[in-house]
Amino acid sequence: MRVTFDTNVLDLACRPERFPKDPRQPGLVRVRQALEAGEIHGFYPVTMLTIEGIQNPDRAGVYGGTKTVITESPPVITPSNDLPAKLRAEIGDGNLETYNVTLTVTQDDRKSLHPEVAKRVAAAKALGVRALRAVPRIGAFDITDETGEYYLAIPDDDLGRWIDAAHAACRAIEARGVGFAQVKALGERLAINSPHDLWFRALKEAKDIHEENGVKRAFSEWADGDALGSHIAYGIDVFCSADVGNSNARNSVLDPINRAWLTETYGVRFMTFDDLLAVLT
């Protein structure tokens, strides 16, 4: 069974020793043993690091300071005679100039991961629990994995399908007014008072505790929506979260109505941690 562990349950699975008073302690240990033995193949959304890895009070400031650096390489000249006849027929007899443009996103105010988050990642890695790639977004912060040790790999010949599936799922989620749609809508509302600001920069303009709490909730909602988009694109069997089963929250991607829609539309199988324990016992 392949299971995506949401941020709020990953420690239960990977670091049960942190919860010595939890009456489910034997069950928590059983889940870790199942991961070690390969009974469960575990994953977690990288939004735990890219979005939720920023401490709540800092999120608006970090994203408000997002910068995109464009680097253009010198042109590569391909003589006309070296081009395929079909391409030459389209562009004429001139030489072809090719430019490579690289977009790099920087967030100067982003701090190092909280030590407990770093320990959580290390514990997950030790158990073979892999990160699910972020849904690609223009101008979004990303974490590279040069050695291939952290992300669940996507074969090159499947990458296009994965990107299309992730984008399609997230567009459908956002069309329901949840996921990323909420943080963008909130930024646009706050930008009314600062009309020259881009929406994500306006997030740091929250003027009272109610708007500040709204920003916090919107970032969490974005993380949940993109986590599910990635989960769907990878085709993981189960999405395990403390936010499913008993939540009465409304207007959230994990509220009862949207969970039912995700199950009907994409076959998402939701489980609480207790549900997972029941399957293993």
pLDDT tens, residue by residue, 125-176: 999 999 999 998 877 788 888 888 899 999 888 999 999 999 999 999 999 9
Helix orientation angle between 273-280 and 25-37, rounded to the nearest 10 degrees: 70
**Whole-angstrom distance between the N-terminal and C-terminal Cα of the chain?**
14
Q: 146, 150, 161, 57: which is closest to 109 by C-alpha? A: 57
pLDDT in tens, 87-136: 777 777 788 888 888 777 777 888 888 899 999 999 999 999 999 999 98
Name the amino acid, one letter, at 176. Answer: R
Nearest-angstrom CA–CA distance, 281 and 277 = 6
